[in-house]
């Protein structure tokens, strides 16, 4: 007969999960409240317009350039298989891909160089990378038009080195050049952040374990910097695919890309359903690329 | 027999910093060699030059007779166990260990087989699929060891390999490493700032300070005959009784007392007589000593260690530490007791700067 009853282990344990659950519940409620403004923003400016676009893409254009929301059909999507539209789609995809690859090749060595400098040099060079952002995007694109155009510095150079008067303006090359120029910082920054995080002794360890410089890059540096490669590629590919200003200014009418084609549908052709269908396809492509890329990247990490 | 590593007149500068200052060092084949010194003295830099991760500013560096001064690391028959391991975080233990073999072009199945054998050797059987982040510190240490050993290097370089482990594990690994080295018969160059670790593990050791090599020898030589004041003080515990050389047999202490101390330094040189706590003996004042090997003082404090007592004895300007084994019947000297600290005249060494 024991006078004092000691709490058994079971009893002591009962209280804890309850407290824990309550704490977790409270924590998540607080999290939700803090996130409220962002949710509201997303719904208002992302989800609602998206629904409108989808709805419009199934509607019909009436004779006066207005939109009939009553007769729902797939006509706009059917037009995607037309040769002109298909060409524009593939050209846009190809140029966006090319832009991404060129950015990657240029940005990687630069980001590595940046990540291995002293902090002072590093910050100074990062400022240089950002400087173009201080000038308006349009102005910068028109500047390229002057550089590449007739009698511009570029033709002066080609003439001087004996290649004759070459004109780059209003070509796919000019568009890619402009896109690379515009989006290069978006590749450099995530790559730099990813490479900077890597313990540089891992590279030494690989050299110590008989890897050549190239093997060291392929087996250690590249796999470990993959998050940066993925982030940078998406940040360049997605806006390149939808780019409107640069192709318009530097590509001229010969190289219509998806962005300008969509604008034409809304503003000139006044075919809102078709414009909406194109927009939706563009968005779907971007979304799948992003998801696939992240999945793939996630596995290799 | 050609030396495993032969360093002649090597200096390494980083801008204005002289990290390694004109050192000569020969490491024999099959030897466990410890490189000991306080943090920042140039141990890692020396090791990195042997590995080829750093090139000497001056001097010659030979591995088994071949000059390797500016050869890249992948062209040298040595491997490194890095401080804090530097395991590849994206590879599992097996791929970490097999990395070196694959880079050397060993075919996949052989590489795998040998990597698994080495993983067994370091007692990590069954851990091969784990990523470094899923292993404990001690296990990571073993992977790092296996990753280097699997390549059968002619010299294994270890940079404070046990530094990040807790005491118990460290002592266990000390024994294991020593066994491994003896079984493999490969030279180990072992960097540490822990003098006890260097003493217990190495066949020979070098003591460095401030980029300079102060003394090279067996642990016993270095403990018994420290080359200078720094070595005497850094290796083990010691009391440094300041004074000047009187003649080849005698040192005149700062308070005028004469004690026996053999040296071949010129008369008047400032020196210290190094007296190890365990070599000193406490006795009552009236005991008759050879006055040439004793000083008088007063007990200031006693620390009980279980197997011994450590006395702090005030002697003129300094406090002398004396360690008395806790034998049955050992006399206890209370604080405040006037005592005499005596020693065997051959047990002290005279050290200069
Ligand atoms: N890459 C480096 N650049 C500049 N100074 C360095 C570099 N590596 C080491 N040092 C300097 O060289 C000295 C020796 O360093 P180190 O060999 O790492 O010492 P330890 O390994 O004995 O602690 C230190 O003063 C350190 O600051
Ligand atoms: Mg070090």
* pLDDT of residue A6 exceeding 70: no
**B333, B282 in Cβ contact below 8 A?**
yes
What is the pTM (predicted TM-score) of this model?
Answer: 0.84
Instruction: Please provide the distance, in angstroms rounded to a whole number, between the alpha carbons at the two ends of chain A.
Output: 62
Q: Distance between CA atoms of B175 and A226, rounded to whole angstroms?
A: 41
Q: Distance between CA atoms of B236 and B323, rounded to whole angstroms?
A: 13
Integer angstrom CA distances of residue B226 from B222, B282, B348: 5, 24, 10
Q: Distance between CA atoms of A257 and A259, rounded to whole angstroms?
A: 6
Residue B291: pLDDT band with limits 50, 70, 90: low
ipTM of predicted assembly, 2 dp: 0.87
Residue A4: what pLDDT? 52
pLDDT digits over B46-99, tens only? 999 999 999 999 999 999 999 998 899 999 999 999 999 999 999 999 999 999
Integer angstrom CA distances of residue A61 from A58, A239, A261, A279: 10, 28, 17, 16
Residue B288: what pLDDT? 62
CB of B37 within 6 A of ligand 1: the answer is yes
CATH 2.40.50.140 at B239-351, yes or no: yes
For residue B42, give the ligand 1 atom closest to its CA: 17
**Which ligand has the shortest distance to the CA of A201?**
1
Q: Break chain A into its structural domains and give their ranges.
A: 2-46, 82-295
Beta bridge partners of B6: B26, B62
* Domain B5-224: CATH architecture, name and number where available: 3-Layer(aba) Sandwich (3.40)
Q: Which CATH fold topology does A82-295 show? A: MetI-like fold (1.10.3720)
Q: Distance between CA atoms of A282 and A301, rounded to whole angstroms?
A: 28
Query: Across all residues in chain B, what is the average pLDDT?
Result: 93
Residue B255: what pLDDT? 85
pLDDT digits over A16-48, tens only? 677 788 888 888 888 888 888 898 999 999 899
Residue nearest (by alpha carbon) to ligand 1 atom 27: B40
CB of B41 within 6 A of ligand 1: the answer is yes
B257 phi-psi bin (left φ>0, alpha ψ -120 to 50, beta other): beta
Residue B168 in contact with partner chain A when CB distance is under 8 A: no
Residue A240: pLDDT band with limits 50, 70, 90: very high
Residue B290: pLDDT band with limits 50, 70, 90: low
pLDDT digits over B14-45, tens only? 999 999 999 999 999 999 999 999 999 999 99
pLDDT digits over A169-213, tens only? 888 889 999 999 999 999 999 999 999 999 999 999 999 999 999
Query: b/e string for B137-164 if b means 16 or more Cβ within 10 A?
Result: ebbbbbbbbbbbbbbebbbbbbbbbbee
pLDDT digits over B208-241, tens only? 999 999 999 999 999 999 999 999 999 989 999 9
The DSSP-derived string for A252-280 is: TTTS--HHHHHHHHHHTS--HHHHHHHHH
Q: Which residue of B has its CA nearest to A202?
A: B86
Give me A146's structure tokens: 């002057």
* pLDDT of residue A2 exceeding 60: no
Length of chain B equals: 353
- Chain A residues with CB-CB distance to B145 below 8 A: none
pLDDT digits over A259-274, tens only? 989 998 999 888 999 9
Chain B, 33-52: which have a CB under 8 Å from a chain A CB?
51-52
- Per-residue DSSP letter, B106: -
pLDDT digits over B187-202, tens only? 999 999 999 999 999 9
* pLDDT of residue A158 exceeding 60: yes
Least confident of A4-8, A69-73, B330-334: A4-8
Residue A289: what pLDDT? 85
pLDDT digits over B134-180, tens only? 999 999 999 999 999 999 999 999 999 998 888 899 999 999 999 99
Q: Hey, is A66 helix, strand or coil?
A: coil
Specify burial of residue A194 (Cβ count, 10 A radius: 0-12, 13-18, 19+): buried
pLDDT digits over B236-286, tens only? 899 999 999 998 889 999 888 888 888 889 998 999 999 999 999 998 886
**A208, A216 in Cβ contact below 8 A?**
no
Q: Which residue has the tokens 């090599």?
A: B213
């Amino acid at each position: 007969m024991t006078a004092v009853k000691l709490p058994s282990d079971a009893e002591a344990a009962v209280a804890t999960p309850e407290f824990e659950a309550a704490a977790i519940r409270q924590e998540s409620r607080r999290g939700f409240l803090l996130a409220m403004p962002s949710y509201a923003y997303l719904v208002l400016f992302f989800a609602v317009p998206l629904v409108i676009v989808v709805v419009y893409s199934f509607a019909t254009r009436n004779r006066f350039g207005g939109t009939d929301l009553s007769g729902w059909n797939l006509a706009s999507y059917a037009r995607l298989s037309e040769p002109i539209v298909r060409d524009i789609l593939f050209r846009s995809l190809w140029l966006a891909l090319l832009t991404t690859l060129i950015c990657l090749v240029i940005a990687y060595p630069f980001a590595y160089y940046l990540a291995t400098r002293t902090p002072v040099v590093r910050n100074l060079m990062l400022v240089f990378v950002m400087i173009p952002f201080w000038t308006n995007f349009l102005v910068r694109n028109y500047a390229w038009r002057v550089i590449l155009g007739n009698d511009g510095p570029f033709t002066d150079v080609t003439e001087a080195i004996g290649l004759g008067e070459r004109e780059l303006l209003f070509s796919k090359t000019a568009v890619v050049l402009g896109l690379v120029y515009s989006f290069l910082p978006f590749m450099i920054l995530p790559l730099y952040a990813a490479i900077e995080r890597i313990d540089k002794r891992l590279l030494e360890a690989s050299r110590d374990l008989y890897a050549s410089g190239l093997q060291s890059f392929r087996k250690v540096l590249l796999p470990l910097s993959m998050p940066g490669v993925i982030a940078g590629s998406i940040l360049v590919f997605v806006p390149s695919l939808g780019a409107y200003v640069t192709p318009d200014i530097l590509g001229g009418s010969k190289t219509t890309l998806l962005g300008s084609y969509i604008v034409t549908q809304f503003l000139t052709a006044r075919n809102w359903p078709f414009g909406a269908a194109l927009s939706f396809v563009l968005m779907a492509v971007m979304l799948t690329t992003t998801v696939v890329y992240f999945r793939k990247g996630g596995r290799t990490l | 027999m050609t030396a495993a590593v032969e360093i002649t007149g090597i200096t390494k500068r980083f801008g204005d910093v002289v990290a390694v200052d004109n050192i000569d060092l020969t490491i024999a084949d099959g030897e466990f060699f410890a490189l000991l010194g306080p943090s920042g003295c140039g141990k890692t830099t020396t090791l990195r030059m042997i590995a080829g991760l750093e090139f000497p500013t001056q001097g010659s560096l030979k591995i088994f007779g071949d000059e390797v001064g500016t050869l890249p690391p992948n062209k040298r028959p040595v491997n490194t166990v890095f401080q804090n391991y530097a395991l590849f975080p994206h590879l599992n233990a097996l791929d970490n260990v097999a990395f070196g073999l694959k880079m050397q072009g060993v075919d996949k199945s052989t590489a795998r087989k040998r990597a698994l054998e080495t993983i067994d050797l370091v007692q990590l059987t069954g851990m091969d699929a784990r990523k470094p982040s899923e292993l404990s510190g001690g296990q990571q240490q073993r992977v790092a060891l296996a990753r280097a050993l699997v390549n059968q290097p002619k010299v294994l370089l270890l940079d404070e390999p046990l530094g990040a482990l807790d005491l118990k594990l460290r002592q266990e690994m000390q024994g294991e490493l020593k066994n491994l080295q003896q079984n493999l018969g490969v030279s180990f160059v072992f960097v540490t700032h822990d003098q006890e670790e260097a003493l217990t593990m190495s066949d020979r050791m070098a003591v460095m300070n401030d980029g300079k090599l102060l003394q090279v020898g067996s642990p016993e030589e270095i403990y018994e005959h420290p080359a200078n004041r720094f070595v005497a003080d850094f290796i083990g515990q010691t009391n440094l009784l300041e004074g000047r050389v009187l003649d080849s047999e005698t040192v005149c202490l700062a308070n005028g007392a004469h004690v026996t101390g053999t040296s071949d330094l010129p008369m008047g040189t400032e020196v210290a007589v190094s007296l190890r706590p365990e070599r000193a003996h406490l006795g009552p004042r009236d005991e008759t000593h050879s006055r040439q090997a004793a000083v008088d003082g007063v007990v200031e404090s006693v620390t009980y260690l279980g197997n011994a007592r450590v006395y702090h004895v005030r002697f003129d300007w300094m406090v002398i530490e004396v360690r008395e084994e806790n034998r049955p019947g050992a006399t206890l000297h209370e604080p405040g007791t006037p005592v005499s600290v005596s020693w065997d005249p051959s047990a002290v060494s005279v050290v200069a700067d």
